[in-house]
Amino acid sequence: MTAEVFSDILWNRYAREAAAASEAEHAAFTGYLHGIFSEEQLHAPATRRDAARILHIFLLQLLKLPDEDWGEYAKLKDIYDCRICANAIAQVCVRSLMLPKSRQEFGALLPFTDTEAAQIPERLMQYLV
């Protein structure tokens, strides 16, 4: 699963569900992604931390959701391995959109799988209801 494919999955689900989804929103979302990921990164296999960052951008930019307290997820050993990714990882865990691989570790550098990518839009819709 690449970062670009995952962002397209999120956008397509959002566009189907949100009557107000616009091309301007899509352009802003993809523009933001292109601002933080290189073309090479967008087309390479994504890690779980890449997916968390994309999902966090989606939550902030499109859904306008504020960040929540990290709670127990502040204790994940690998959350601080990437300062830029730490808040994104915590935010997707707090909302149960992505789950840690264990009680101690998110699994930030593990590959982001097609199975995980398919589950996230459903979890997102459940979270928003």
Q: pLDDT tens for residues 61-113?
A: 999 999 999 999 999 999 999 999 999 999 999 999 999 999 999 999 999 99
The single residue listed with the structure tokens 């097609």 is: 114
Helical segments of the chain, H only = 3-17, 23-36, 39-43, 48-57, 83-94, 114-128
Q: For position 96, what pLDDT does the model report?
A: 95
Buried b (16+ CB within 10 A) or exposed e, 99-115: ebeeeeebbbeeebeee
Q: For position 107, what pLDDT does the model report?
A: 97
Encoded amino acid at 86, one letter: A
The residue-averaged pLDDT of 43-56 equals: 97
> Angle at Cα 53 formed by Cα 82 and Cα 39, nearest 5°?
95
Which percentage of the chain shows pLDDT scores above 70?
99
Q: For position 118, what pLDDT does the model report?
A: 94
Q: How high does pLDDT run on average in the chain?
A: 93
